[in-house]
Chain A
Amino acid sequence: MNSLLLRAALCAACSLASFHAPAAEVQVAVAANFAVPLQKIAEGFTAATGHTLKVSAGATGKFYSQIIAGAPFEVLIAADDETPKKLITEGHAVAGSRFTYAIGRLVLWSAQRGFVDDQGAVLASGRFAHLAIANPKVAPYGAAGLQVIKARSLSDALKPKLVTGQSIAQAFQFVSTGNAELGFVALSQVAVPGKPAVGSYWLVPQELYGEIRQDAVLLKPGADNPAAMALLAYLKSPAAQEVTRAFGYGSYM
């Protein structure tokens, strides 16, 4: 096992054994789609360790540009696995600290009840004018949506109907305002704990698209902050993973 991971694990173990290190602060950049689950996780983290989070939520690609420009983030909780990989290769993140904290699950969603069937046959029905997706070039959920369309051999039929949001949040807005009848979004946006799902959706089988891995990584400014390492360790804990699953993500752990 990597010595850093070992240190992180030890650190978490210490804090769980209520050996409280002096409480510190972690500056976290989190992908917008995981901001709400992180809030929940942060409550447990602070209760267990005494450390607190300073959270900035945004698009992973923008965080990348800011991090290579010297932003003071200590942990990146990304929406993909490419960005953390690249940050390690380019020397902005700590090698060996990257791991998959959640697996994104794609849904085909409509704000209208009964519009989407549980086989996704509506895609081929032609009963809609617009299908919203996130920009496939930058958003993994957008790329996954395109793969589903391709798997169903509907690329040519649906191309003129595609409207592209710059992020998964924007794709969600296009659908929730009814301007697009359908859209590929994240299950975590549609099935929020404590809120009944609006409209209708098809949970796309995972065989139809490449796995959407969301990775977290320790950034260079946080390399010496025990609280940052504790947070990464806590993300792997059963308590954090339970929250992650409750919000509609899959997990490895």
Chain B
Amino acid sequence: MTPEDWSAVRLTAQLATLTTLLLLLIGTPIAWWLARTRSRSRPLVASLVAMPIVLPPTVMGFYLLLLMGPQGPIGQLTEALGLGRLPFTFAGLVVASVLYSMPFVVQPLQQAFEAIPERMLEAAATLRAGPWDRFFSVVLPLARPGFLTASVLGFAHTVGEFGVVLMIGGNIPNVSRVLSVAIYGHVEALEFDAAHRLAAGMVVFAMVVLVALYVLGQRTGRAAERVR
């Protein structure tokens, strides 16, 4: 493996970790709202969150390129804030990945939250637990398998992301040349050996992550059952 390939591996791990952490922060309140609200706008918000599953990644990447560009509203906003423009930067990749992987984090969390019976929260409330207390001491432990699924799916999906990154990244070493783009570049250049090595690494990585998910999921699943 060349230093450039290693840098792609490192960059991918950084991107996926940061994206997952941000998505847990942003996705939890969205998922909670979706799980509990009786608002009529709920189907609309749920559909918006699911949009990245529908849109082909390069299409989504193209529109992000337009929106974040000098003529786009996001581009004008970031420039007005003195942040410069997002395309061709690592920050831009993080923003795009958060949008792109959003449904893979929000949906498992929403399902986990929906599975928590209302009566448990009511019982906690009668014991004078405030909203935050109820969230941290009742919801979080019960929804732990959901958080685990959400984290792993968000992480894995960002690692496997290709079209969006290709469109807004500009394939710059150490900035936006992530694993998937590096592999694609090797394939296009007919450097099949290098492509095979990176791809094999990616498959092994994905297997390890997914096996870990299922093993952990079984354990915490059983633990959650016992609580109930």
Contact = CB atoms under 8 A, between A and B. Distances in A.
Interface string B191-204: 00000000000000
A177 B171 contact: no
Contacts of A177: 65-66, 69, 71-72
A163 B184 contact: no
Given A135-B185, A178-B70, A170 B167 contact: yes
Which of the listed residues B87, B88, B167, B190 has the most CB atoms from chain A within 10 Å of its own CB? B88
B69 A178 contact: yes
B4 to A, nearest CB: 12
Contact of A164 (B71, B170, B190): B170
A138 B189 contact: yes
A174 B189 CA distance: 21
- Interface of A: prevailing SS: mixed
Contacts of B190: 61, 64-65
Contact of B68 (A64, A132, A179): A179
B118 interface: no
A59 interface: yes
B58 to A, nearest CB: 9
B170 A166 contact: no
Interface in A47-69: 59, 61-62, 64-65
Interface of A: 59, 61-62, 64-65, 130, 132, 135, 137-138, 162-166, 170, 173-174, 177-180
3 nearest A-B residue pairs (beta carbon): A163-B170, A164-B171, A137-B189
27 contacts: A59-B188, A61-B188, A61-B190, A62-B188, A65-B187, A130-B170, A135-B189, A137-B188, A137-B189, A138-B185, A138-B188, A138-B189, A163-B172, A166-B166, A166-B171, A166-B185, A173-B62, A173-B65, A177-B69, A177-B71, A178-B69, A179-B65, A179-B68, A179-B69, A179-B85, A179-B88, A180-B88
